[in-house]
Structure 1
């Protein structure tokens, strides 16, 4: 990994990051590189190898990769990634390619545990203190510092606590107006399946999907459902995310009562699962017949208006702790990485300029990030609408035009009034990708003008 030197700041902040996932580690590395005193607290006793992260593929696009590269991870990232410029869109009933969407910027597919591993190694390398096997009990948030009490009796003090502890964030409970802002199920559900290469090679139809990563990314669209799938050749796996936008109460999957299961759980009723997807093509049916268990991911969202930081300016949320939303743009992990980048670079600027206060930092963080996150949410809604069409005239029009220049991924219901579309109900595929993947969190943070009326918000870089 790159031997990036740690800067010696004029003012050093002590920061405790609660949650050592992707966003938490990215924040910790960025903060440490600017000379801050950084501690990450992770509740797992063994950091690597106990994530339970089977069936955990991640799509990383240009907007997140530039952030990772700035942390000194470019070389390490390339070693764990399958990359492409093309998305092959396939018809659900026969698996035939409808068209290809070619992007201007490459995107990469990685295994979550591989990305965590290189982030962890980089954090240790730059001098982040990582405490494992600890669960915090309470935060005493004062105007001077935050006192953190852990279950085992350990205590820590910090100038700032970063809550990177996910959808069920405990840190969120210590921000008074966000205390009851729990994530709520949307009625959609994803099922995550990893198929080993040895299984993929058994059948010509499935072997054609794997092809050793030569054609790594596939998007299969059907009525009310779609499948996003890709190769992870570093682990010799084919990863599938089977998205059901009509999951509702789960009756189609054999549930007799309302689904009250955890948002992420193991699903074993494979006969019901196979039946629900039996109208998809031979290759998909073959893979599911070889699958005995999968991960069920009930999709949930946090409220749009939920605050992200405390009145004392000493507790702030990033990633899913701040803004959980549906994963149908491949941007969940990217939003956490962008959050981490913006926050850490704003703090770096404050450490060089003592006139910048914590309130200035957190105001800037939310001013930059909230419009961005809300814009991605709109794109998610647009993706669901266009890629879950029932068979018929609109679906046929989509299939004829997808991948063509100027094709709109946005319908009138979700576009227009707010966010990135700026009143234009016919954003093209190219415009949506430009907003999503052309964003530069580093330029946003470094170019923010503190003290400017209206919070200093500028147009997003695309």
Structure 2
């Protein structure tokens, strides 16, 4: 017997899609609503660590993801000198276990499509371009009103609707999402043959300049600078700004820079952070993924933690008889300390750079690798 028979998932990103897939595969009736008009993802690329790849395997999409992504096992560190000299080659921890590469780059829209296809195949009823307008819960379930006027009753509502979660607001949960002090330029484009892994350039006019292959013919490149208001720039000015910042970096960057020609493939955002203390649920409504915790991508664990939220929540819903305190105690004990440790470590790496302090980066990265190397 399972704790739920009918579930609403709000949000079709990593956490929402993964939760929906796992529950539907086990026979739960799952509805998923997503405010965006189609199953695509914003942004350019994503780096998935081994523990994220392990979760993709559990969702039945590892083979498809591997075919469309670009796996690698080493991160390069380069100098901001005229040659882009390699300073170090650091083997990455295989946090997913020996059966998976240490990391893999993917185009975000590709990953979104793979997960959507899997959700549909498992029987998830997906509705795009809409969301809920009301939640009214009692001890036995949640009555939901949708934007089109339709209604439904569910055993559980999962709020997986991102950093500025509507579900979180509807529950009246106060949570400050604060800027870290860094902004990131990202661009998506073709992969030069010289790019076969993530390389990071520290120093120069920006905090970090890097890139990650996302497929046989694609990559995303990024530059991290002090956060500033770039909202008044036109798309063409944004492109020109990223090109100008990149001119301090060489090696493969000299090839990448020549491909930066399309303003529509450049975007700029600030690093932001928050983490919600337990409980993440209010009765029969629970928050997962960025709705509960978000952090800068400095250790590339945001996607992995969202997928882990989905795995643990689904496991507990399928192995408990009721939605009650024992289930929530187990969920919070397994997820809150782990997610908080990742958020804190990601923020610490940012703060060291902002303060121009040489912190124990290898030690910090090693401690997180050990933590996430064990399944949540």
The match for 2:218 among 231, 237, 249 is: 237
- 2:99 is matched with none
Distance of 1:266 and 1:164 partners within structure 2 = 30
Work out whether residues 86 and 102 of structure 1, in 8 Å CA contact, stay in contact via their aligned partners in 2. Answer: yes
Distance of 1:279 and 1:12 partners within structure 2 = 55
Deviates more, 1:320-329 or 1:296-305: 296-305
Task: State TM-score, norm by structure 2.
Answer: 0.87
Work out whether residues 4 and 323 of structure 2, in 8 Å CA contact, stay in contact via their aligned partners in 1. Answer: no
* Greater than 6 Å deviation, 4+ residue runs: none
* Gap change, CA 1:303 and 1:380, over 3 Å in 2: closer
- 2:248 is matched with 279
Distance of 1:371 and 1:131 partners within structure 2 = 33
Query: Are 2:268 and 1:296 aligned?
Result: yes
Task: State TM-score, norm by structure 1.
Answer: 0.72
Corresponding pairs, count: 364
Q: Which aligned pairs between 1:87-126 and structure 2 lie closer than 5 A? A: 87-94=75-82, 95-105=84-94, 106-126=102-122
Which of structures 1 and 2 has the larger relative contact order (alpha carbons within 8 angstroms, sep 6+)?
Answer: 2
Q: String of CA shifts for 1:17-74, please: whole Å, max 9, x gaps.
A: 0011111010011112232221111223333xxx364x52111112111112112223
SS of the residue aligned with 2:168?
helix
* Gap change, CA 1:334 and 1:127, over 3 Å in 2: same
CA drift of 1:314 comes to 0.5
- 1:65 is matched with 53
CA drift of 1:208 comes to 2.5
The match for 2:128 among 123, 132, 150 is: 132
Q: String of CA shifts for 1:201-241, please: whole Å, max 9, x gaps.
A: xxxxxx533xxxxx22212211551123111224x212112
- 1:76 is matched with 64
Q: String of CA shifts for 1:375-429, please: whole Å, max 9, x gaps.
A: 1123213433566785xxx77xx9xxxxxxxxx416xxxxxxxxxxxxxxxx365
Distance of 1:121 and 1:39 partners within structure 2 = 15
Distance of 2:11 and 2:212 partners within structure 1 = 28
- 1:409 is matched with 361
CA drift of 1:372 comes to 0.4
CA drift of 1:274 comes to 3.6
Work out whether residues 34 and 128 of structure 2, in 8 Å CA contact, stay in contact via their aligned partners in 1. Answer: yes
Work out whether residues 382 and 409 of structure 1, in 8 Å CA contact, stay in contact via their aligned partners in 2. Answer: no
- 1:405 is matched with none
Work out whether residues 23 and 314 of structure 2, in 8 Å CA contact, stay in contact via their aligned partners in 1. Answer: yes
Could you list the runs of 5+ residues in structure 2 that have no partner in the other structure? 95-101
- 2:98 is matched with none
CA RMSD of aligned residues (A): 2.7
Could you list the runs of 5+ residues in structure 1 that have no partner in the other structure? 1-8, 201-206, 210-214, 399-407, 411-426, 442-462
CA drift of 1:349 comes to 0.8
- 1:208 is matched with 194
Distance of 1:285 and 1:171 partners within structure 2 = 44
Distance of 1:18 and 1:45 partners within structure 2 = 14
Q: Which aligned pairs between 1:147-296 and structure 2 lie closer than 5 A? A: 147-176=143-172, 178=173, 180-197=174-191, 200=192, 207-209=193-195, 215-223=196-204, 225-234=207-216, 236-244=217-225, 246-247=226-227, 249-250=228-229, 268-281=237-250, 283-284=252-253, 287-288=256-257, 290-291=259-260, 292-293=262-263, 294-296=266-268
Distance of 1:52 and 1:123 partners within structure 2 = 15
CA drift of 1:11 comes to 5.5
Distance of 1:114 and 1:63 partners within structure 2 = 19
The match for 1:314 among 250, 264, 284 is: 284
* Gap change, CA 1:73 and 1:273, over 3 Å in 2: closer
Distance of 2:88 and 2:139 partners within structure 1 = 57
Work out whether residues 230 and 240 of structure 1, in 8 Å CA contact, stay in contact via their aligned partners in 2. Answer: yes
CA drift of 1:268 comes to 3.5
Distance of 1:389 and 1:97 partners within structure 2 = 25
